[in-house]
Structure 1
Amino acid sequence: MEKSKVYFTDMHVTYRENLQEKLTRLIKTAGIQNIDFNKKYTAVKIHFGEPGNLAFLRPNYAKTVVDIVKDLGGRPFLTDCNTLYVGSRKDALEHLSSAYLNGFSPFSTGCHILIGDGLKGTDEALIPVNNGEYVKEAKIGRAIMDADVFISLNHFKGHESTGFGGALKNIGMGCGSRAGKMEMHSSGKPTVEQASCIGCGMCAKSCAHSAITITNKKASIDHRRCVGCGRCLGVCPTDAVEPASDESNGILNKKIAEYSYAVLEGRPHFHISLVIDVSPFCDCHSENDIPIVPDVGMFASFDPVALDMACAEAVNRQPVVEGSLLSKQNHKHHDHFTNLAPDTDWKVAIDHAVKLGIGSKEYELITI
């Protein structure tokens, strides 16, 4: 089988070419113009960053991608789905406010922002996962599935549950609705935090399976009836409904691969990863630590699996930044991500994605 092509450039610039111009050259050299964008809705999936975290990608990079798509005749929009946890991006209004606070707007990026799973994180499309080991029907943000073309723009960094966050993490977890994220993180059975419940009954009204009852002004969920649809998560006004976090990291990684399959199957897609500010944790944190390795560069490919492999191996070739969290770990594994998060194996998602036919681990790295 022919190796997938992954294109790379470092972060060095000259007076003739700045970083945005260099990113444009990388993306075009990688062949994005081979996609038919003419009048096509194009979802550009990005992480807008949790307020307080400063490691997320700057909106300037998003504008570069958006400008290319528009030049090719496409109709791009930036998108992400609401978060499962309680933070500043759990509904579309807070999510948009967070994006604006972090510099993402139609004026700074040249396109509109659409939150993929709607106001309360319940606007989802149910997508079959052929040969899915754990997921038979993925719950993906509807706006993302309505797009004709899909592009992922990824900040490559560490992650405590998946080893690293790259293309597959940005696609699979990021495009899941709130209920989809619950399915990936748990067996899909939420509970009610009684102290926070005000007994309003909104969750019971939204449940199509009569799994929720209100007793003494408190809600409770019968797991024998609950099907894990997650509607109660979206409608609770006090965030009293909580998902379990009881899935093993290995299964979590496999579910992310299966959700990625649901997002990508059957339509053109392209992927860009920037290996800069490689923070030890996800951009979902409301804080970030110093990078664990020096900045590496920018990568692009039609194959998200090969892209993640190239980025991971590039990071593992880098020296550890002195004083970083990685520098304080036991380095017996000879793998930066395993040393940083020894309770998870990032290769599980890669191998499962290959099994599903998303892409290949074998790649040819082409430096421009």
Structure 2
Amino acid sequence: MEKSKVYFTNLLATPNMNLLQKLEKLVKKAGIEEIDFKGKFTAIKIHFGEPGNLAFLRPNYSKVIADVIKNMGGKVFLTDCNTLYVGRRKDALEHLDAAYENGYNPFTTGCQIIIGDGLKGTDEAYVPVPGGECVKEAKIGRAVMDADIIISLTHFKGHELTGFGGALKNIGMGCGSRAGKMEMHSDGKPRVTSETCVGCGACVKMCAHSAIRLENKKAKIDHSKCVGCGRCIGACHFNAISPAWDESNDVLNKKIAEYTLAVLHDRPHFHISLVIDVSPYCDCHAENDVPIIPDIGMFASFDPVALDVACADMANQAPMMPNSYLAEKFKKQKNNSDHFATIHPETNWMVCIDHAEKLGIGRKAYELIEI
């Protein structure tokens, strides 16, 4: 079977070729101009970053991609869907405010911003999942499904429930409506280790579903209310909350793959990932941490599966950053082959990759072409 092509460029720049110019060259070499954009609505799926987090992608990168598409006649917009948890992106108005605060607006990006699942996260389309094992009908933001072409522009980073957040997670989880996100998260129910909990209440404050309360100065999670979004895991500064030691994270990863298939099926799509500022947690956090590895570079491919594997491979070949969360976890876990298993040992990111390949989204085998 032929390997998928993944194109890569490092972050070295010169007076004659800055990083934005390198990004444009990368996507053109990777074949983005093979897509017929003329007159087509084109969604660039991106994460605008939770205010307070400084690891999200700068809007300059999205303008490069938007300009390339507009120059080919495309009708392009940036999009993301609303969140489950308490934060600044839980409805369209706050979401747009957050995007603007982080520098995303029509003047900096060269295109409009549309929140994919509407004002309250309920504007959704029900999309069949061919061959879905966990999901038969995905709930996707309607604006995403109204687009003719999907482009993903991803900040590659760690994630507490999926190991890392790459192209598949950006598309699958990110394009789910609020109900879709609840469906994907529903099998993951975090647990509290009472011996470690100090009763600070940070998790209570972060829970959007009133599922956590303090009882005798210890956090308690009501699983009948919990939707399994995992926000409390990142909110806890004492590592007192963790996912259940069962198959829930594997189910979540499979559902992300199936939601990705729902979004991409029967439509042209293209994918870009930037492995920079690789923090241990998602950009949904209102804070970011010391990068766990040095910046690697920029990647592009028609195959989101191969793209994720290539990014993970190069990230795992990179040295860990001193004084990072990875360096601290390595003292205890010492997983020499997988940085993401070291920082989140309860996750197995290969489950999503394997399932996505099984579903026919793409292939794990890739040829890396450096430009």
Smaller-chain TM-score bracket: 0.7 to 0.9
Separation (CA, whole Å) in 2 of partners of 1:131 and 1:176: 18
**CA-CA distance at 1:192 after TM superposition:** 6.6
Indicate whether 1:335 and 2:329 are aligned. Answer: no
1:164 counterpart letter in structure 2: F
Shift of 1:8: 0.1
Query: Aligned pair in 2 of structure 1 residues 304, 180: CA closer, same or farther (>3 Å)?
Result: same
Match of 1:67 in 2: 67
- Partner letter of residue 336 of structure 1? H
* Map of 2:356 onto structure 1: 353
Letter of the 2:272 counterpart: I
Q: Name the SS of the counterpart of 2:324 in structure 1.
A: coil
| 1:334 positional shift | 2.0
> Is 1:8–2:17 an aligned residue pair?
no
SS of match in other structure, 1:366: strand
- 1:148-206 deviation digits (Å, cap 9, x = unpaired): 000000000001100000000000000000000000000599x974999xxxxxxxxxx
CA distance in 1, matches of 2:161, 2:335: 19
CA shift for structure 1 position 282: 0.2
* 2:227 match: 243
What residue in structure 2 maps to residue 217 of structure 1?
none
SS at match of 2:184: helix
Contact 1:157 1:282 in 2 (8 A): yes
Q: How does 1:122-201 map to 2 (within 5 A)?
A: 122-187=122-187, 193=210
1:201-249 per-position Cα deviation (integer Å, ceiling 9, x unaligned) = xxxxxxxxxxxxxxxxxxxxxx9xxxxxxxxxxxxxxxxx763558711
In structure 2, C-alpha distance between the alignment counterparts of 1:288 and 1:195, rounded to whole Å? 24
Given that residues 182 and 188 in structure 1 are in contact (C-alpha distance below 8 angstroms), is that contact kept between their aligned partners in structure 2?
no
CA distance in 1, matches of 2:101, 2:210: 30
Cα distance 1:180–1:63, how it changes in 2: closer, same or farther (>3 A)? same
The amino acid across from 1:339 in the alignment is T
Change (3 A) 1:47 1:192: closer
Q: What CA distance in whole angstroms lies between the structure 2 residues aligned with 1:24 and 1:139?
A: 33
Separation of aligned partners in 2, 1:157 and 1:364: 22
Structure 2 residue 61 is the aligned partner of structure 1 residue 77? no
Q: 1:125 to 1:335 in 2, by over 3 A?
A: same
In structure 2, what is the equivalent of residue 362 of structure 1?
Answer: 365
* Counterpart for residue 98 of structure 2: 98
What is the alpha-carbon distance in structure 2 between the residues aligned to residue 193 and residue 277 of structure 1? 32
Instruction: Tell me, in whole angstroms, the C-alpha distance in 1 between the residues paired with 2:185 and 2:227.
Output: 8
**Paired letter, 2:368:** L
Q: Which runs of 5+ in 1 are unaligned?
A: 197-222, 224-240
Over the aligned positions, Cα root-mean-square deviation in angstroms equals 2.0
Query: Given the two structures, how large is their TM-score scaled by the length of structure 1?
Result: 0.85
Q: Structure 2: where are the runs of 5+ without partners?
A: 190-207, 214-223, 230-243
What is the rounded CA distance, in whole Å, between the counterparts of 1:110 and 1:138 in structure 2?
A: 31
Whole-angstrom CA distance in 1 between matches of 2:294 and 2:158: 13
> Quick check: 1:80–1:116 contact (8 Å CA) kept in 2?
yes
Aligned residue type for 2:70: K
1:195-234 correspondence to structure 2 within 5 Å: none
Q: Is the alpha carbon distance of 1:328 and 1:193 closer, same or farther for their aligned partners in structure 2, counting shifts above 3 Å?
A: closer
Alignment match, 1:201: none
Q: Quote the Cα distance in structure 2 between the aligned partners of 1:321 and 1:195.
A: 34
Whole-Å Cα distance in 2 between the matches of residues 355 and 194 of structure 1? 35
Counterpart Cα distance in 2 of 1:77 and 1:332: 41
Q: CA deviation at 1:267?
A: 0.4
- For 2:363 and 2:150, locate their aligned partners in 1 and report how far apart those are by CA, in whole Å: 19
Return the TM-score normalized by structure 2: 0.85
Q: Corresponding residue for 1:297?
A: 297
The alpha-carbon deviation at position 15 of structure 1 amounts to 0.7
CA distance in 1, matches of 2:165, 2:273: 10
Q: Residue 27 of structure 1 aligns to a residue in which SS? A: helix
C-alpha distance in 2 between matches for 1:5 and 1:115: 31
Letter in 1 for 2:369: I
Deviation (angstroms), 1:147: 0.2
C-alpha distance after superposition, 1:63-94 (max 9, x if no partner): 00000000111010000000011111000000
**What fraction of aligned residue pairs are identical, expressed as a percent?**
68
